[in-house]
Chain A
Amino acid sequence: MIAYAPYLILLLPLLAAVSIRLFLYPFPRISVSVSTLACLGSFMGSMALLFWGSSLGQGIVPALPWIEWGGFRANFGILGDPLARGMAALVSGVAFLVHLYSIGYLEKDPCRSRFFAELSLFVFSMLGIVLADNLISMFIFWELVGLSSYLLIGFWVERPAAGAAANKAFLVNRIGDFGFILGILGAWALFGSVTFADLPGRAAASSPGWAVTAVGLGLFCGCLGKSAQFPLHVWLPDSMEGPTPVSSLLHAATMVVAGVYMLVRVLPILEMSQATMMTIAWIGGWMTLLPALLACQQNDIKRILAYSTLSEIAYMVMAVGLGVAGPAMYHLTTHAFFKCLLFLAAGSVIHGCHDEQDIWKMGGLGKRMPFTAFVTILGTLALCGIPPLSGFWSKDAIFAATAHHPGLAAVSMGAGFFTSFFMLRMILVAFGGEPKNDAARHAHEGSIFLTAPMALLAVLTLVGGLLPVESYLHFQHPEAHETWTLWISLLVALAGFVPAYFLYRQATKDPISIPVLREKFYVDEIYQRVFVSPQDAFARLTDAFEGWVVRGFLVRGSGVVARASGQGLRLVQCGQVQIYAAVFILGVFLLLGWLWRQG
């Protein structure tokens, strides 16, 4: 029985979500504690699994038989390999810190029961993705994560923008998920299994060809949606309409990197096809640079960070495309720490300035919120890859992998330049100079619930590079890699600080204006023209069809049968038992007539 204990890691947040929704809804204080404690329980369970799971070996948790249908088999099981255990500990740990932060951030919100129920649902689904032992159950949790993301982005139901952003996130993800499920079906058709334990062997045994490429690209579609890579990246900046803890947990630290995690899981399939790998690497490579450019012209503190997230995930995607899963997961881990920290700090700023998000209306916060300013600078240095902070080690490992791909090295290092530029721009404008308005003038640090998680994450950001991440990922730091990547990437990153310092040191409004960047390369407009408007027209058409033909003609006319067969059925269903008996006898004659013809 004890062998089933790891299922508790999954079940605790689910129980919390269900019990809050059903019973504890009217008691926000209890709901908050139940949700937070459930997350803590999951975290402790994950840590126990992380430390003691290895002594039990592979397949430590007995799987529950689930679907057996013809030749198809899928269990409901928990994966016990080091990758899953490490990721579960990371997800539940960061989630716990964000739970704590949310207690302070939403302390006055009357709907916080709902928030915490949805947060628990998210933790459940995200851990489900991490621990799933086959593609089918991963897909189910994948969709549940999409649902919880939708709910949480739209948490402030009274804001139309939040609802629109939630819809956009959900719909864009559907496109990616459609490719994903095609990829899953293809994998099943090609390899005869959807279980992660079987896939490497089956994939190695099959012959490469266009089918394998198609399957790999289908699976990559799932990553495009969930991890917001081109061309499905448009939802992530908009998702910043959600509460900041949500942006921090879902849209920076954990959910959006699920795509990368999934790619690492199916790497044996992807590696079968060079075309797939190169597609992934190049999409990742360009996506490091483009969002970094866009971020240079954004004014919303959260959107700046969102574009930086797009860019950082692209580093991981590129690393997977280059076949180095270790550095990708390493960067995923450190990124979770420092990006979560940056978002929590941004939340602290927004909280302190009474819901102001425009950096040009802040200013002078360094003096009034010294702690927040300090952790922001710490997070920025980690993000830009400055030694000895955690981001340096993981980014270095990725740059080392690009050593033999000069094109990818160029774009990804160039992205480092702009990353340094826009991060210093954000810090100088928001924290330096003079306060631009009253809200900024009276800004103050938040309660202990806000600062404590930030402090813990700051420590992790500082020493994250030293964590024995390699041991659970089975990857070695490249000892003798070519050092030119290290020096050049570092120099480029440092160079990015220089123009930002001179341009924004004393600026009260943006000295440069590049409309094409401000308008995000017009991608949203293009999508609006090409996809959304025709679809809206189609929706109006089907609505008209439903209104006029289905409801007007078929349903309101008391049923298609009654209309079609004239008054036939109406005569029959008239309530007179004589008629019923007549129909009955007619039926008997029909049956006997059939028998007559047969016999």
Chain B
Amino acid sequence: MIRWFCPEVLLVLTGVTLILADALIPPGKKEWLPRLSILLGIALFIFTIWQSGQPMPEVWANLFVTDGLSLVFKPFFVLCLVGVTLISVRYPMGREEVVRTEFLALPFFSTAGLCLLASARDFLAIFVALELVAISLYLLAAFHRSRAASLEAGMKLLVMGGLSTGFLVMGIAWLYATAGSTEFSRIILEQAGRPASPALLFAVGLILTGLAFKIAAVPFHAWAPDVYEGAPTPITAFLAIASKAAGFVLLLRIFCLGAFALDSVGWVFRPILLTMGIATVTLGTLAALPQRNLKRYLAYSGIAHAGYMLLALGTWGESGMGTVAGYLWAYLLATFPVFIFVQELERVHGNADMRHLDGLAQRDPGPALGLTLCFLSMAGLPPLLGFSAKLSVFTALWSAGEIPGLVVGVIMAVVGLGFYLVPIRAMYWEREPDVVPAQRFPSFLVWILLLAGAAQLILGFQPRPLVRLVEKSLAPMVSGNLQGK
């Protein structure tokens, strides 16, 4: 019975509670609901850290597993939720103010789906959890109905998401037809020791398509810039970080731990992942150069980061897998603060155009410093956190002998420095505009940005906590195991 108190269940219950409270409490007396949702989010985060190593309900044993990966990534997703809730509270809703609580409650459902994904050991569970994530996100992206851009973003996400889900389901169906099961352990047992049949490869290819959409890898990335730009900023952050991370956790889960961790499959898919990685890094980096809108810019930056992680994944080894896990945490720590800042920028100026950064260091030295550290960390400059992340990607590529990927990765890291310096240059070297808005950034934002910057520095100098986390994610099953009960 006690096992039912797992993060996923509590996340769903919290979401339901928030919606019920919103419906039952008379209007005018609900000012405390946003604050409550933040508190609940933080409480759930602490609970998840404490609980994510515990086994899940026994009834689910065939569908879900608790292991190192889920242990490390459930807190990741709930941390994203806390961040999103924090900034959702401040998102200017305009006419949609009346439904703010729903805007706050929906990410809880989505996060429940993400946590389930981190544990899934069966393609059916994966499909259901993915839909839980995706449908909440379709709603959320289109939530700001009075803004055409938001509606457009929701529509694009829906169409493209539906398309990718179609391929994913098709892949799962083919898989079932080939292997006779959707459960990872059965598939491995069934396929081990034989060459992969064309039908199996076809199935894996279709499933990869669905996941490549999630992580916005080239050529399945086209939706990302438009949707990121149009969606409400908290949702953009959620899409860019949590949703992308979910794609990678699934890739790790499927290709490195379960189902297709077979040499026969890996032999075919390694070059595909590496080629995709090279294309993604190149396009993300080059296309980011001319961007003038911070949200689009972050979309391309996210595409480039996904490319680096794909390259690491393409090395197919344990080091590549640990690298992806560490990279995702580094990406979260460097990118989320920037999204928080972008939303405040939108509050003040109405949009996220990069020209609002001109001369920012003059009037707001604190946020400028924090942002600079975050951008430099994303660029991968030592001694910041992002440097360790990129270095481990390159080390993994080097030791796997993947020289083309390494060369492109290094070149793009250098080019990337160019586009990460663009906002820094604007903040420090551009002249301040003559008319400066009177509205200032709130002091909590200054603190968050400075703390984030300090975190880049401290973890860059001492990446040990992160390394330990990565080692943990590689640990074998905590309870239950993939080879079936």
Q: Which residues of A contact B (CB under 8 A)?
A: 22, 64-66, 69-70, 76, 140, 554-555, 558-562, 569, 572-573, 575, 577, 579-581, 583-588, 590-592, 594-595, 598-599
Do the beta carbons of B272 and A594 come within 8 Å of each other? yes
Q: How many whole Å from A302's CB to the nearest CB in chain B?
A: 33
Chain A positions within 8 Å of B17 at CB level: none
Which residues 226-241 of B have a CB within 8 angstroms of A? 226
When C-beta atoms are compared, the residue in chain A nearest to B162 turns out to be A581
Q: Does B317 contact A (CB under 8 A)?
A: no
Q: How many whole Å from B423's CB to the nearest CB in chain A?
A: 14
Interface segment out of the listed B215-223, B251-259, B322-330: B215-223
Interface segment out of the listed B58-66, B286-294, B332-340: B286-294
* Neighbour of A595 across the interface among B160, B202, B450, B464, CB < 8 A: B202
Do the beta carbons of B220 and A599 come within 8 Å of each other? no
Given A584-B164, A595-B268, residue A573 in contact with residue B222 (CB < 8 A): yes
Do the beta carbons of A66 and B219 come within 8 Å of each other? no
Do the beta carbons of A577 and B464 come within 8 Å of each other? no
Do the beta carbons of B462 and A64 come within 8 Å of each other? yes
How far is B272's CA from A575's CA once the two chains are assembled, in angstroms? 28
Given contacts A584-B160, A584-B220, A591-B208, 9 further A-B contacts (CB under 8 A): A69-B391, A70-B395, A559-B287, A559-B290, A580-B226, A586-B219, A587-B219, A595-B201, A599-B268
Chain A positions within 8 Å of B222 at CB level: 572-573, 579-580, 583-584
Q: How many whole Å from A63's CB to the nearest CB in chain B?
A: 13
* Neighbour of A577 across the interface among B160, B209, B213, B462, CB < 8 A: B160
Do the beta carbons of A577 and B155 come within 8 Å of each other? yes
Chain B positions within 8 Å of A595 at CB level: 198, 201-202, 205, 268, 272
Q: Does B302 contact A (CB under 8 A)?
A: no
Q: Does B121 contact A (CB under 8 A)?
A: no
- State the main secondary structure of chain B at its contact with A: helix
Q: How many whole Å from B230's CB to the nearest CB in chain A?
A: 10
Counting chain B CB atoms within 10 Å of each CB, the highest count among A569, A581, A585 belongs to: A581
Q: Does B448 contact A (CB under 8 A)?
A: no
Q: Does B459 contact A (CB under 8 A)?
A: no
Do the beta carbons of A599 and B198 come within 8 Å of each other? yes
Q: Does B461 contact A (CB under 8 A)?
A: yes
Chain A positions within 8 Å of B218 at CB level: 587
Chain B positions within 8 Å of A22 at CB level: 366, 450
Counting chain B CB atoms within 10 Å of each CB, the highest count among A22, A579, A584, A595 belongs to: A584
How far is B460's CA from A140's CA once the two chains are assembled, in angstroms? 14
* Neighbour of B159 across the interface among A581, A583, A586, CB < 8 A: A581
Assign chain B's interface to a size class.
Answer: 35 or more
Given A555-B290, A559-B286, A590-B219, residue A584 in contact with residue B226 (CB < 8 A): no
Chain B positions within 8 Å of A586 at CB level: 219
Q: How many whole Å from B464's CB to the nearest CB in chain A?
A: 7
Q: Does B156 contact A (CB under 8 A)?
A: yes
Chain B positions within 8 Å of A569 at CB level: 287
When C-beta atoms are compared, the residue in chain B nearest to A572 turns out to be B222
Nearest 10 CB-CB pairs, A to B? A587-B219, A580-B222, A599-B198, A559-B290, A558-B290, A561-B286, A577-B156, A599-B201, A598-B268, A595-B205
Do the beta carbons of B213 and A584 come within 8 Å of each other? yes
Which residues 152-185 of B have a CB within 8 angstroms of A? 155-156, 159-160, 163-164, 167
Do the beta carbons of B209 and A591 come within 8 Å of each other? yes
When C-beta atoms are compared, the residue in chain B nearest to A599 turns out to be B198
Do the beta carbons of B205 and A577 come within 8 Å of each other? no
How far is B167's CA from A561's CA once the two chains are assembled, in angstroms? 29
Chain A positions within 8 Å of B155 at CB level: 577
11 contacts between A and B (CB under 8 A): A140-B383, A555-B290, A561-B283, A569-B287, A572-B222, A575-B226, A580-B159, A584-B160, A591-B272, A595-B268, A598-B201
Chain A positions within 8 Å of B450 at CB level: 22
When C-beta atoms are compared, the residue in chain B nearest to A575 turns out to be B226
How far is B208's CA from A484's CA once the two chains are assembled, in angstroms? 86
Q: How many whole Å from B451's CB to the nearest CB in chain A?
A: 12
When C-beta atoms are compared, the residue in chain B nearest to A18 turns out to be B454
How far is B225's CA from A69's CA once the two chains are assembled, in angstroms? 37
Given A587-B220, A590-B219, A595-B205, residue A573 in contact with residue B225 (CB < 8 A): yes
Q: How many whole Å from B118's CB to the nearest CB in chain A?
A: 26
How far is B412's CA from A561's CA once the two chains are assembled, in angstroms? 14
Given A591-B209, A598-B201, residue A584 in contact with residue B163 (CB < 8 A): yes
How far is B209's CA from A595's CA once the two chains are assembled, in angstroms? 13
Q: Does B10 contact A (CB under 8 A)?
A: no
Q: Does B426 contact A (CB under 8 A)?
A: no
Q: Does B196 contact A (CB under 8 A)?
A: yes
How far is B157's CA from A584's CA once the two chains are assembled, in angstroms? 13
Do the beta carbons of B289 and A580 come within 8 Å of each other? no
How far is B208's CA from A561's CA once the two chains are assembled, in angstroms? 26
Chain B positions within 8 Å of A561 at CB level: 283, 286-287
How far is B287's CA from A218's CA once the two chains are assembled, in angstroms? 42
Q: How many whole Å from A244's CB to the nearest CB in chain B?
A: 29
When C-beta atoms are compared, the residue in chain A nearest to B222 turns out to be A580
